A = this chain, B = another copy of it.
Amino acid sequence: MRLAELSERSGVSTATIKYYLREGLLPPGERLTATKAEYGEEHLRRLRLVRALIQVGRMPVATAREVLKAAEDESLSQHLRLGAAIWALPHGPGPEQGTPETARAREQADALLERLGWAAHDRKTETPSPAYRMLVEAIASLARLGYPHDTGHLLPYARLVSELAVHELDVVQTYDTPGEQIEASVALTVLYEPVLLSLRRLAQAEESVHRFDEA
């Protein structure tokens, strides 16, 4: 398809598509003439992912490019890329280096991951992932403000997201090709975050009302 059709089918303006092409978020189309190129279904799919990252995930363009780079990293096996791309997704600000709470929070995060038997991916990389740093910072905030944050309090969250990950990867595997699976995996990780957070609040409000109305 040509640029105009890609724009119509994706709902993204031609100006924005050209910007994504210049920024390397979208691979170039097959050049037909000096000014015309042909785009395929893979461009349409990639555009949906880019919009998920930038519009819903509110990532800066540079960050979205990092995530897409991880998804395409040829040095990793096709299948490891899937984990690597989720791994590279951005997070809130990193831990405040060097506070006593941060050092302690790192120990607690490690103890939790050890207990869960996770960190399969971590052992293959030199630097901690954004997700790991986000966990450390979250534990440090809880500690700093005097709220419960021991392994016993963290485990229920870990167990539930483990169950969820099985369901989520089942959904990812309904996509046909490895390339589509990686893109869907990253997009669904980002797009289902607000689903998870909003339902959690609704569930809490519901549970509060039931529990205390009946008390």
**Interface positions of A (Cβ within 8 A of B):** 11, 48, 51-52, 55-56, 77-80, 82-84, 86-87, 89, 91-92, 113, 118-121, 129, 131-132, 134-135, 137-139, 141-142, 144-148, 153-154, 156-158, 160-169, 171, 184-185, 187-189, 191-213, 215
**A206 & B135 in contact (Cβ 8 Å cutoff):** no
| Min C-beta distance of A40 to chain B, whole Å | 16
| Min C-beta distance of A30 to chain B, whole Å | 23
| Min C-beta distance of A87 to chain B, whole Å | 5
**A132 & B203 in contact (Cβ 8 Å cutoff):** no
**A191 & B83 in contact (Cβ 8 Å cutoff):** no
- List the number of copies, as a whole number: 2
The interface residues of chain B lying within 8 Å CB-to-CB of A156 are 164, 167
Q: Which one of B138, B145, B188 lies within 8 Å of A194 (CB-CB)?
A: B138
Q: Which one of B131, B184, B192 lies within 8 Å of A202 (CB-CB)?
A: B131
Q: Which one of B51, B137, B145, B153 lies within 8 Å of A52 (CB-CB)?
A: B145
The interface residues of chain B lying within 8 Å CB-to-CB of A187 are 145, 147
